[in-house]
Amino acid sequence: MIEARHLTKVFDLSPARARRTLDAGPDRARAVREAGGVLAVDDVSFSVERGELFVIMGLSGSGKSTVIRMINRLVVPTTGSVLYDGTDVGGMTPRQLRGLRNERVGMVFQHFALFPHRTVRENAAYGLKARGVPRRERLRRADRALEQVGLGQRGGAYPDEFSGGMQQRVGLARALTTDPDVLIMDEPFSALDPLTRRSMQEQLLELQRDFRKTIIFVTHDLNEAMRLGDRIMVMRDGRTIQLGTGPEIIARPADGYVHDFVSDVDRTRVLTAAAVMRPPWVTAALGEDPAAVLARLERSRARGAYVTAPDGGIAGVATPEALSAAAAERRADLEHCLGGDYTAVPDDTPLVEFCHLTGGHAVPLAVVDRDKRLVGVVPRARVLDAIASAAEDRSEHA
């Protein structure tokens, strides 16, 4: 959908001079600095899939805001290119570029950047006004966008009558009114208090479930990045350090910088059941002989076995007592020794939401995939291990 190739941006030097300086030698950053310029972004490449929520994470000065402004060419790259479905933005005429910004890309800003002299409704309608849509039509569509962000009745107010969270909802509505495929969000929730930020994040995820926009989201908050991002690109000093999914970055930080970052993340919200589960020690198929299962169970340390149905789903749990009773009755299968004494969670459940469910039964917590098939188990010890390693990281850091 969007492809950024070797984006580089030098500020404070003329483009020609900047390009000459970049070609000068191996240490580009130093060469640019000595020429009196600033190398804000240094050879950044990535591609964003349709419907993906792509997060660019870095501290201030890492070049992340410059990168997203090169995507809709508010900042012209010194070298490198941005492609939308294969079309190079740099090759567009001013008119095509306006069309791209107006119809395909919506943008949300850190400090909201609402027009203080216009009503909330007129703010939300701005993109359509730029497009030349008649007043009545654009206000109607602005109202609909305001409805989506939960401000349906407040269109007549002025932005300064609103709290920060509400203002950013207006900013989001303004970006949604033009119905773009792509949303560029530049630290949209950084200026909000933690509670508001949380609810805005949830609302964004909800909108994303409904509309499946392609979103490029900038933040300096790794927790936010982990919560929202399908994939995360970590930037530092204008360069990409690591690009991967949240759990990948937590599990294998590319360098000490990312590792330091990661140690501050609340792992219980990032690690999912799939990340901490292990294979069950003993499982049994529904058609097996109770005596054989009992023998396997007694050789292991397990205190019960998950019994799977032919479709892979969990049929129930067989305890040693039930199995020996069935063996004594010479039953041919496990049909009569199934108990319901277990809990199962989907594999994408975050640790924080299932840790209290572990340890309540003879068998460990079951983890099932989307088709309800048993994919692993999480005994209480695994949960403690996962939390402990996070704490260890933190104390190491301190």
Residues that bind another protein (CB under 8 A): 72, 74, 94, 97-103, 105-107, 109-111, 113-117, 126-127, 129-131, 135-136, 158, 160, 174, 178, 184
* Distance, CA of 16 to CA of 40 (rounded, Å): 16
- Cβ 107 to another protein shortest distance, Å: 4
* Distance, CA of 198 to CA of 3 (rounded, Å): 30
- CB 225, CB 219: distance < 8 Å: yes
- Cβ 166 to another protein shortest distance, Å: 16
- Cβ 25 to another protein shortest distance, Å: 31
- Cβ 132 to another protein shortest distance, Å: 9
What is the chain's alpha carbon radius of gyration, rounded to the nearest angstrom?
27
Cβ distance to another protein smaller for residue 29 or 38: 38
Cβ distance to another protein smaller for residue 184 or 322: 184
- Cβ 194 to another protein shortest distance, Å: 23
Cβ distance to another protein smaller for residue 68 or 200: 68
DSSP symbols for 174-221? HHHHT--SEEEEESTTTTS-HHHHHHHHHHHHHHHHHH--EEEEEES-
Cβ distance to another protein smaller for residue 118 or 259: 118
Cβ distance to another protein smaller for residue 176 or 293: 176
Give the chain's length.
Answer: 398
Q: Chain-centre distance of CA 311, in angstroms?
A: 32
Residue 258 phi, psi (nearest 5): -65, -40
- Cβ 215 to another protein shortest distance, Å: 15
- CB 48, CB 184: distance < 8 Å: no
Cβ distance to another protein smaller for residue 47 or 96: 96
- Cβ 185 to another protein shortest distance, Å: 12
Element of type H or E holding 314? strand 314-318
Cβ distance to another protein smaller for residue 157 or 362: 157
Whole-angstrom CA distances from 82 to 45, 68, 78, 235 are: 9, 10, 12, 18
- CB 139, CB 187: distance < 8 Å: no
